[in-house]
Structure 1
């Protein structure tokens, strides 16, 4: 790789900059589910999937006597989820069809269907997309990549481990999963270019998926590093007056779901997306002094991270902090992101995708579909005091089933109001039942369940197929190895009898 002549950067950083500049000119885009024009058979296959979903829901509704409105909502949700998971339609088409059908069929009011566009998560992503673009354009991403990974690229496993540890470590400072993804992804893509990992290569896919998984899954064991953690914290306090302690939460969840899950993730990525042979370490040379734009952006990001880390003190959502940083980057005279760059290089697809995910969760909640499913599952489950292992497994099955029907951030909002009844039915303490939600929303079976994972995949140009493979494999290892260990850890700490 030839060195860049970009001023202000030394040869190693400049070499990274040259590759990233090329990527910035043509940003990575998600892999489409089919060729650009597609075939009529693709639409027919999608129609068959939708028809099958509708038939299954209709039969289930007739068998249970569910109201027509609930059956209609369930058919729409199941069809949308299956189209996303199977990739039978391009992702934007599936999302737009969900919006259209939900409004035309009066499944939910437009304010609910399109609530994703008004959510803090959507604006957090938009702001992060702009600051991520600024990171690439100014060369700060390349410089950070050289600093973070210098001397840590001797092997592919070492690269993946460093990426994972960076994502988990940042969770202690930055309470927004999407914000962490937006901060890390340009840096990781810069390193992938420096190491010669072209789009579609195992190395690049592995690095992107490590950012995606490590930014969400292990941090579920850190309060309040993720949205589900924060929802659980707020719901437990508002519904039952229980204040979850940061220290006890960390002690209960982090050793297994945080530390061990990170180790398993690194091992799994290296096995599923291998890159053989030693990698050349970044040269140990000092970079030149950063330019004005890099210094300006570094100050903006430092203030933003400080705002993220102290949101519990000032009460300002990370989304609005991210949006403020985005606006500063766009201001005339600051010179970090131009209006033309904003129009050409901030992609609509991931923004539309996340709005669809959030809207789906809102529809499930507003129509009562989540509550109906959970109530039905509770009637079928054999819960009884004194059977701790069976009760824990049953509660996990309830949460996992609901998590497949909606996004995981909304899961605590559905399960927390049921916690008292679950506590009485199982004989477990109310706090234990509340805490049992964490292993559930930390286990991701499909990428669509966690919007930040999808955001990371979209920004890194990784398709749903690769993300689904990793999520399913990691979920299988979690169920077979990590959750049994977690069960015995809970018993050792006295949370379970």
Structure 2
């Protein structure tokens, strides 16, 4: 367990500080974990068997297809009419679009794969060329809004599903779509969305250089664009109806990527796969493998109980308990990422209910505030994925996530407390 703790601190520290390229740290994790025999190979390399790995890979293929065929630029031309006018309006429109798509498309990574190529095409049309802060801000508007604001929609991201599944299995709690939405939307989506737009405009200031009227007209729809549009429409339809057919989003996305490369049907040659960057795929696999190893060795549970042992939880102090539980949820997400946090936090819920005297539903629900308060990009694979697709250095992404994390704790969390008191969830 000591070796696992050392590797956790080393990898998280390197990913957070960007002292080494993320791919080097990822490969170092695999090598050290196996050389030191910290866990079986099936645990260390479990990230490669995860749906997230394959969804990232397929998303990169589809994103490249959208760029090569010009379909991304065409979609951007349609959206540009509504997003033009000013840089704040452009950023705000991207944040709203990211949230609205979460209502119908369940996969964070799938939404990133769909939106980032379109966002880059919009940036090109508005004169936000590579190197401009506005281009980075636009990519991060999609990359950060996608995983964080979707926390307000129950089936819209992985942490929510893990939380709901763990709560049902361990505590017998069942969450309904509407009650969950009412509890979390006003602050986690609406208020935090406004905060995110304000931060991006402040940290990545820029102006739209090209009015919409000056955007270059696009040629008629090509055969490749038409075929890709059909592939995307079918993929999106299957993603939106996953509750009916039960096909996981990753395998639907992989099928779409294969169709893009398939001779005769596809829109680019198989040789184009050689231009797909695998760095982010290996990073995702290493991150998920590290989380699996932390949980498998019992380190995660021990860290959780250590946090609980020093937590000043006391009955009849709802404000204090709310703040402490929010802090615990945030700390766990910092240690084991947003995807790994719900399973660990939910397992500790009975102890926290006993110590705080709060209703079990409130204690379980507080973790949503915690794992949607992210300080560093590595905590949410979609942010890393968007940064890679948009060519935004992780240190630049961290500039936004650190600021957004502190604002979320200082402003959004107290707003959540007030809202929950009004709803009667906290007494």
Question: Structures share a fold, TM > 0.5?
Answer: yes
Q: CA deviation at 1:285?
A: 9.3
What is residue 98 of structure 1 aligned with on the other side?
29
Match of 2:273 in 1: 342
Inter-partner Cα distance in structure 2 for 1:389 and 1:151? 42
Q: 2-side partners of 1:390 and 1:151: how far apart?
A: 44
Contact 1:133/1:337 (<8 A) preserved: no
What residue is the counterpart of 1:322 in the other structure? 253
What is the aligned residue count?
Answer: 427
Does the 8 Å contact 1:385/1:428 carry over to 2?
yes
2:298 equivalent in structure 1:
368
CA drift at 1:289:
4.3
| Corresponding residue number in structure 2 for 1:465 | 395
Q: Which runs of 5+ in 2 are unaligned?
A: none
- Determine the C-alpha separation between the residues in 1 that align with 2:217 and 2:131: 31
SS of the equivalent of 1:196 reads: coil
1:181 to 112, 115, 126: 112
Q: Which residue in 2 is equivalent to 1:382? A: 312
- C-alpha contact 2:126 2:215 (8 A) present in aligned 1: no
Task: Give the TM-score normalised by the residue count of structure 1.
Answer: 0.84
Q: 1:225 to 1:378 in 2, by over 3 A?
A: same
Q: Tell me if structure 2 keeps the 8 A contact 1:447–1:464.
A: yes
Tell me the residue number matched to 1:17: none
CA distance in 1, matches of 2:421, 2:210: 44
C-alpha distance in structure 1 between counterparts of 2:73 and 2:210, whole Å: 18
| CA-atom RMSD in angstroms | 1.5
Q: Distance in 2 between matches of 1:436 and 1:142?
A: 41
8 Å CA contact 1:146–1:282 kept in 2: the answer is no
| Superposition pairs of residues 74-113 of structure 1, within 5 angstroms | 74-113=5-44
In structure 2, the residue corresponding to 1:414 is in which secondary structure? helix
2:227 aligns with 296
Tell me: CA distance 1:230–1:288, structure 2 relative to 1, closer, same or farther (3 Å): same
SS at match of 1:250: helix
Shift of 1:151: 4.5
Greater mean alpha carbon deviation, residues 90-99 or residues 270-279: 270-279
Segments of 5+ residues of structure 1 without an aligned counterpart are 1-69
Q: CA deviation at 1:218?
A: 0.6
Deviation at 1:292, TM superposition (A): 1.9
Which residue in 1 is equivalent to 2:384?
454
Residues 322-345 of structure 1 deviation map (CA, whole Å, 9 limit, x = unaligned): 0111111111111312111111x2
Deviation of 1:152 (Å)? 2.5
What does 1:259-338 align with in structure 2 at a 5 Å threshold?
259-276=190-207, 279-283=210-214, 289-338=220-269
From the superposition, tell whether residues 151 and 286 of structure 1 become closer, same or farther in structure 2 (CA, over 3 Å).
farther
Q: State the distance in 2 between where 1:92 and 1:152 align.
A: 35
Q: In 1, Cα distance between the equivalents of 2:208 and 2:135?
A: 15
CA contact 1:411–1:441 (8 Å) conserved in 2: yes
Larger % of helix: which? 2
Give 1:99 shift: 0.8
Q: 1:122 aligns with which of 24, 29, 53?
A: 53
